[in-house]
C-alpha cells in the first residue's frame, strides 16, 4: 500500500484528513499513534518531530506530508478523484482555503483550548485563556451561523476541503457549546455533515474511543 496515515481515532484534525480519504475512497494503511506509549511516540517523532497528527506517508513518492490541510491538498493533487476538495478555479480555491483556515484557527483551536484545559494537572489550569477561547469560539460560531443560512455546504453546492475542516470543528464545538441553543443554522449544517457517508464513517469508527473524551 502506497499511503500510510498516522493518526488517532479521537483526534479532530485526524478526522479532517480521514473524511478526505473516505470521501474519495482512497486506499491507505491506518497507523494509530499513541503518544503516551514510548515506542509509538518515538516512531512518530522520527517521522515528524513536531509531533502533531495527522501525518500522511506516501511510500511510492517517498514523501512525508504533515498538516491536515496540506494532506488534503496533496491527495487532491496526486489522487485525482470524483470529489474535487480544492476547486480548480483559483478564486474559489482561495476562498475554500480561507474557510478551511477559519474552521481550524477560530473554531477548532479555541475548542481544543477549552477541552485540553480539563485534563491539565491540578493547579495548572488557565481560566483566563479558556475565557478568551470561549469568547472567540462564540464569535466564530455566530459567523458560521450567519454564513450557513441558505447553502448546504461551506462553499455552496459542492462539498470541499472547507467541509472536511468544518465537520470535526463543529462536532467537538457542539460538545463544549451546544449549537442548537443559539446557532440553528450551524446546528443544521452539522446535522448535514454528520449525515454525509464519509463523515458518518469517521465518527462510527471513533465511537469506541469517545469514553476517552474529557467531558
Ligand atoms: N495544524 C495541525 C494541527 C494538528 C494537531 O493539533 N493535532 C493534534 C490532534 S487533533 C495533536 O497531534 N496533538 C498532539 C499533541 O499536541 O501532543 C493540522 O492541521 O494537522
pLDDT confidence of residue 196:
98
The best mutation among 5, 7, 13, 202 to test binding of ligand 1, ranked by most ligand atoms within 8 Å of the C-beta, falls on: 13
Q: How many Cβ atoms from other residues are within 10 Å of residue 151's Cβ?
A: 12
pLDDT in tens, 47-93: 999 999 999 999 999 999 999 999 999 999 999 899 999 999 999 99
Q: Distance from the CA of 14 to the center of ligand 1, in angstroms?
A: 8
Q: Measured between alpha carbons, how far is 109 from 135 in angstroms, rounded to an integer?
A: 12
Q: Give CATH superfamily name and number for 3-78.
A: Glutaredoxin (3.40.30.10)
Ligand 1 center from residue 47 Cα (angstroms): 14
12 lines ligand 1 (CB under 6 A): yes
Mean pLDDT of the chain: 96
Q: Which CATH architecture has domain 90-196?
A: Up-down Bundle (1.20)
| pTM, rounded to two decimals | 0.96
Pocket test for ligand 1, best of 53, 162, 169 (most atoms within 8 A of CB): 53
Q: What is the largest CA-CA distance in the chain?
A: 51
- Give 126-153 pLDDT, tens digit per residue: 999 999 999 999 999 999 999 999 999 9
Name the residue ranges covered by the structural domains of the chain.
Answer: 3-78, 90-196
Amino acid at each position: 500500500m502506497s499511503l500510510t496515515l498516522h493518526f488517532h481515532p479521537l483526534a479532530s484534525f485526524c478526522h479532517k484528513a480521514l473524511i478526505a480519504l473516505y470521501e474519495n475512497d482512497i486506499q491507505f494503511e491506518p497507523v494509530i499513534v499513541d503518544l503516551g506509549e514510548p515506542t509509538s511516540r518515538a516512531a512518530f517523532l522520527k517521522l515528524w518531530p513536531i509531533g502533531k497528527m495527522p501525518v500522511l506517508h506516501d511510500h511510492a513518492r517517498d514523501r512525508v506530508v504533515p498538516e491536515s490541510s496540506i494532506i488534503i491538498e496533496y491527495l487532491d493533487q496526486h489522487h485525482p478523484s470524483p470529489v474535487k476538495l480544492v476547486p480548480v478555479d483559483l478564486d474559489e480555491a482561495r476562498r475554500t482555503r480561507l474557510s478551511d483556515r477559519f474552521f481550524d484557527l477560530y473554531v477548532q483551536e479555541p475548542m481544543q483550548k477549552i477541552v485540553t484545559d480539563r485534563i491539565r494537572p491540578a493547579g495548572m489550569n488557565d481560566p483566563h485563556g479558556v475565557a478568551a477561547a470561549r469568547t472567540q469560539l462564540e464569535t466564530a460560531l455566530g459567523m458560521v451561523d450567519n454564513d450557513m443560512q441558505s447553502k448546504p455546504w461551506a462553499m455552496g453546492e459542492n462539498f470541499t476541503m472547507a467541509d472536511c475542516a468544518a465537520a470535526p470543528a463543529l462536532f467537538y464545538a457542539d460538545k463544549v457549546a451546544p449549537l442548537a441553543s443559539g446557532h440553528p443554522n450551524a446546528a443544521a449544517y452539522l446535522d448535514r455533515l454528520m449525515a454525509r457517508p464519509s463523515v458518518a464513517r469517521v465518527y462510527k469508527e471513533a465511537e469506541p474511543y469517545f469514553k476517552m473524551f474529557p467531558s
